[in-house]
Chains A and B, each alone.
Chain A
Amino acid sequence: MENAKIVENAAFNLIKQAVIYLPKDVKQALEKAYMEETSEAGKTQLKAILDNIELAEKYQSPICQDTGTIIFYARAGANFKNLDKVEEALTNATRRATKEVPLRPNAVDPFTQKNSGDNTGRFIPYINWEIATGDTLELTVMTKGGGSENVCVTGTLVPGEGINGLKKFVIEAVIKAGAQPCPPTILGIAMGGGVDIAMKLAKKALLRPLNEPNPNPEIAKLEKELFEAANMTGIGPMGLGGRTTVLGVHVEYAFRHPASFPAAVAFNCWAARRAAARIHTDGTVEYLTHKEKV
């Protein structure tokens, strides 16, 4: 089979896997939250979430009616063949998935308010490119729900306040978001760069598995601190109160300009859908997150 078609098929499978099966780490975190939740209302919500996940798998149906905006992360080996065809392949895969899975059409022209009907449009699906050595293409898809997108925030903090300013920014974002992003959520947090860089890093941090703290112990400590603080808010599952408001907190950073301290908080809902695969130049596809579902 020709290279571009292989990429298209792999991307189609990734979208399908992502919207039907939650990754193992997210499922495990939800199960743990259910065991540990002490608020009755919160526990009922977590049980409903777990039942819903099971039904989605059983009936091969998307977990949530909002199948999100399709975002790809492509880590391209410099020697991977036909890189110029990848964009088209991903767009085709998105169209096919919309029809065949099916997905809810979620791509709207902001000027005319017209829905394209197939989840594609200007810059959508969005592709985040990264170039690496080697001859493989590592492809990750995130299907990002609207409810949790609406509460993502960026800000420029006061540099003099340092990390304390960031902590405040995060806590306020979680409190303000309340029930809106369908908690329990996952938080991607980033500081530094420029505002755009911070949000890009924050969103990418949502892809990191929940059981993997940041390798830098200093940042891992901050992640733990913010995780505990966010769960102290008592917002709870679906905002009905309880100890589970977030399932995980992932922090990333870039260096900053001396005069500015950009920060970003990206939210992902409990339906934290992602799937990844590695495509080799010889055409073999290795599924990384959903091995058993291919």
Chain B
Amino acid sequence: MLITCPYCGPRDVIEFTYQGDGNRERPQSASQDLDAWNAYVYDRLNPAGDHNEIWQHSGGCRAHLRVVRNTLTHEISSVAFARGDHKSVARHKTEGKS
């Protein structure tokens, strides 16, 4: 599998570390909403198809990337810096959970 890092170009997957489901939404730090925290820490989507994921280019520039990967075909349809955009990326969460 190749991931095209916006800094470094197409690189082998061994240079990257999976950093989890990109749909997780961290509650505000001071939030006492345990359900929201529980969802953030434990709930994971497991879609058969496109999945929004965070990968760190740990063997390269160390940037965190938001990667949309098809879990069936490993096709990667988009890669972007995770920095700052995590609120704007379309979420699969709502339709995934119902």
- Are chains A and B native binding partners rather than an unrelated pairing? no
Residues of A within 8 A of B (CB): none
Q: Residues on B close to A: CB < 8 A?
A: none
